[in-house]
Amino acid sequence: MTNYLTIAVGSKNPVKIESARAGFESMFPDKSFSAEGYDVASGVSDQPMSSEETLQGATNRAQALRDLCPTADFFVGIEGGIETINNTLVASAWIVVINRSGYSTLGRSGAFPLPPSVKRLVDSGVELGHANDQVFEQHNSKQQGGAVASLTGGVITRHSLYEHAMVLALASFKHPDLFSN
């Protein structure tokens, strides 16, 4: 790895861009990184409703970046999604990282339950970010702390949740000898 690396992130959301950069900096403190966000389609619904759909959205974003930004060193797809487990709506995110040579890895954030009032709104077709804004009387929370910050009083934010998943995804880049076939 060279000392200065570029990261293409499949979103213009500042939380996702900064989480990706911070994750790389945490795992590789001897390197310098720049991260740039790009609008790329997830190829899944605006509100992914299963772990599989969420992972597919992250994968699609990372793969789309390879064509859009071929000179970047890394391509990062981040997709937040929800699923119902034991009648509880649970939120989490998948991160897919692809390097320039095509090696792909993934990481997943912690999952957390959402209140029944949010579940009712989501079940009626409202996207999680908008449902969170309604229940917690906020504006554009998904580009700030997100539902997790609303529920934890800011102890965990969307940024820290995604950064943690980013670090997990990068473990195989930190130890490539352990992950080679």
Inter-axis angle of helices 128-136 and 116-123, nearest 10: 140
pLDDT for res 127: 87
Q: Which of 167, 174, 172 is nearest to 20 (CA)?
A: 167
Range list of β-strands (E), 15-172 = 32-37, 74-85, 88-99, 104-108, 112-113
Domain limits, the chain: 4-111+155-179
DSSP, res 101: T
User: Model's pTM, two decimal places?
Assistant: 0.92
Q: How confident is the model at residue 1 (pLDDT cuts 50, 70, 90)?
A: low
Q: Which of 63, 78, 62 is nearest to 22 (CA)?
A: 78
Question: How many Å is the maximal CA-CA distance in the chain?
Answer: 49
pLDDT single digits (tens) 83-141: 999 999 999 999 999 999 999 999 999 999 999 999 999 999 998 888 988 998 888 77
For domain 4-111+155-179, give the fold: Maf protein (3.90.950)
